[in-house]
Amino acid sequence: MRVPLDPKAVEETIFDALLAARDKYGDKEILEDQDRKPLTYTGLIRAAFVLGRKIAGLTEMSERVGVLLPSSMGVVVTFYGLHAHGRIPVMLNFTSGERNVKAALLAAGVRKVLTAKRFIQQAKLEELIGHIESVAEVVWLDDVRKTIGLPDKLYGLMAGMMPKRFRTKTEPSAPGVVLFTSGSFGAPKGVVLSQWNLVANCRQVAQHIELKPEWVMFNPLPTFHCFGLTGGVLLPLLQGMKAFQYPSPLHAKQIVELLPQVKASILFATDTFLNQYARVAGPDDFSTLEFVVAGAERVRDETHHLFNTRFHGLKLLEGYGATEAAPVVAVNHPDRNRPGTVGQILPGMEWRLDRVDGIDEGGRLYLRGPNVMEGYLSADDPLAIEPLVDGWHDTGDIVDVDDEGYVSILGRVKRFAKIGGEMVSLTAVEGLASAVWPEARHAVVSIPDSRKGEKLVLVTDRKDADVSRLAEWARSHGAPELAVPKKIMRVGEVPVLGTGKTDYVAIQQMVELDKAA
pLDDT at 41: 97
CA distances from residue 508 to 127, 225, 232, 458, 465 in whole angstroms, order as listed: 26, 23, 31, 11, 19
**Which secondary structure element, helix H or strand E, spans residue 355, and what is its range?**
strand 350-356
Q: Residue 428 — very low, low, confident or very high, per pLDDT cuts 50/70/90?
A: confident
| CA 177 to chain centroid | 14
313, pLDDT greater than 80: no
Side-by-side strand order, sheet with 328-331: 39-40, 29-33, 242-245, 216-219, 266-269, 291-294, 315-321, 328-331, 344-345
pLDDT at 517: 58
pLDDT at 43: 96
For CA atoms 475, 478, 479, 480, the dihedral sign is: positive
pLDDT at 321: 92
Q: Residue 514 — very low, low, confident or very high, per pLDDT cuts 50/70/90?
A: confident
pLDDT at 198: 97
Terminal CA-to-CA distance of the chain, rounded, Å?
53
414, pLDDT greater than 80: no
For the ranges 16-25, 62-71, 444-453, the lowest mean pLDDT is seen at 444-453
Span 303-320, mean pLDDT? 87
Query: When comparing pLDDT for 506 and 268, which is higher?
Result: 268
pLDDT at 424: 73
Domain spans in the chain, listed from the N-terminal domain onward: 14-407, 420-516
Upper half-sphere CA count for residue 125 (Cβ side, 13 Å): 23
DSSP string, 110-151: --EEEE-HHHHHHHT-HHHHHHHTTTSEEEEHHHHHHT--HH
Buried b (16+ CB within 10 A) or exposed e, 402-417: eeeebbbbbbbeebbb
Question: pLDDT for 181-234, tens place per residue?
Answer: 865 545 668 999 999 999 999 999 999 999 999 999 999 999 999 999 999 999
pLDDT at 292: 94
pTM of this prediction?
0.85
- Asked if the 420-516 domain carries CATH number 3.30.300.30, the reply is yes
pLDDT at 186: 54
CATH number attached to the domain at 14-407: 3.40.50.12780
